[in-house]
Amino acid sequence: MLSPEFARPDAALLALRPVIATETTNSDGTVGTFLHATLRPVLKLQNNLLLAVVADFVRDHHIILRPTDQHHQLTELLGRNTKLRYTVVGLVTGIFTAEEYAFYRQHRSELNRRLLEMAQRRVLDQADIVAALAVV
């Protein structure tokens, strides 16, 4: 447990998140519940930053996103670039509450896999925005 001087502002972090209508289940404490209650809202909150981070990696690695091949290029980048993958994970986990982070630590590999899949889907669905940001 963190000492008081390192306590997280959990209420403030939760207040930042958008509300996403989801089907509720009675299985609290599962990875699926965490996915809907935490990962989806955090990814939605961080959407613009996620797109900007991916665009920065595209620009930094001198990748020219061709309109006909954008999805493949972004899929490869998000699938193979370990530094980008860790950056995306940090972008999301950095605004977890203390309780969420404790749950995340127990299920890290499964949650990282799902988090990265969801982030990749967001990026691919907005590939044109990433391409535009990468040019600027």
Question: Which residues neighbour 128 within 8 Å (Cβ) at sequence distance 6 or greater?
Answer: 70
Lowest mean pLDDT among 2-16, 73-87, 116-130: 2-16
Q: Does the pLDDT of residue 27 top 90, yes or no? A: no
Select from 47, 105, 54 the least CA-distant residue to 76.
Answer: 54
Q: What value does the mean pLDDT take over residues 83-89?
A: 96
Residue type for 126, please? Answer: Q
Tokens of 89: 């994970």
**pLDDT tens, position by position, 37-83:** 999 999 999 999 999 999 999 999 999 999 899 999 999 999 999 99
Q: Does the pLDDT of residue 24 top 90, yes or no? A: no
pLDDT of residue 8: 67
Q: Does the pLDDT of residue 134 top 60, yes or no? A: yes
Q: What is the 3-state secondary structure (H, E, C) of the chain?
A: CCCHHHCCCHHHHHHHCCCCCCCCCCCCCCHHHHHHHHHHHHHHHCHHHHHHHHHHHHHHCCCCCCCCCHHHHHHHHHHHCHHHHHHHHHHHHCCCCHHHHHHHHHCHHHHHHHHHHHHHHHHHHCHHHHHHHHHC
Angle, nearest 10°, between helix axes 82-93 and 108-125?
A: 100
Q: Does the pLDDT of residue 91 top 80, yes or no? A: yes
Tokens 């535009």: give the residue: 132
Mean pLDDT score across all residues of the chain:
88
pTM: 0.84
Share of residues in the chain with pLDDT > 90 (%)? 70
Distances (CA, A) of 6 to 3, 89, 105: 6, 21, 18
